[in-house]
Amino acid sequence: MYNTVPASLKNKIMQVSSLNEAVKLKNKKVLVLLNEYNSDIGLMKLFACGNSAFLIDLGRIIESYGFKRAIELAKMRKFLFICVKYQIAFALASYTKDEFSTRNPRELCHIAILIGLNVGQAKFGLERLKKYIG
C-alpha cells in the first residue's frame, strides 16, 4: 500500500481507491489522491467539470525500484497524458516515508518531465498544490 495522507491535511486531501469514488468528490474543493492511476477517460472527463483536482504523488516513483517503478511510471505517464489532453486539473506532490527521500521542487519538476510533462506544466502542477492546501 502507498503512503497515506498526513493527518494535518486530511480535510484537504481525500485518498480514494477508484475513479468512481473520485467523481463523487468532484464538487468539493479538495485534492483527490488515487490508490491506483487507472485511466478511464469517461470518468476522468466527469471529474473535470468539478472544483477538485487529482493529486499526483511523485513519491511513489522515488520510493519504488525496478519493475514496480517502471509500472508506476507508465501508469502515471498515461494518466497525466489524459489529464493534459482533456484539461483535467492536477497537482504534483511527493509524500515520502523519511526525510532522506524528500526532494526539492526543482527535482520534482525533473521527475515530472520524465513522466511526460513539459517544464511549464510541471511548475504549474507544483503551484496548484498551494492553491488547494495553502
Arithmetic mean of pLDDT, 9-17: 84
d(Cα 77, Cα 104) in Å, to the nearest integer?
21
CATH of the domain at 122: 3.20.20.140
Task: Look at residue 88 and tell me if it is in a domain.
Answer: yes
- Does pLDDT of 100 surpass 90? no
Task: Look at residue 47 and tell me if it is in a domain.
Answer: yes
Task: Look at residue 1 and tell me if it is in a domain.
Answer: no
d(Cα 105, Cα 123) in Å, to the nearest integer?
8
Query: Could you tell me the pLDDT band of residue 102, with boundaries at 50, 70 and 90?
Result: confident
Q: Is 30 helix (H, G, I), strand (E, B) or coil?
A: coil
Looking at the structure of the chain, the number of domains it has is: 1
Arithmetic mean of pLDDT, 107-122: 92
Question: Greater confidence, 97 or 127?
Answer: 127
Q: Which residues lie below 8 Å from residue 119, measured CB to CB, with a gap of 6+?
A: 109, 113
pLDDT score of 12 = 87
Q: Which domain holds residue 28?
A: 7-133
Quote the percentage of the chain above a pLDDT of 90: 60
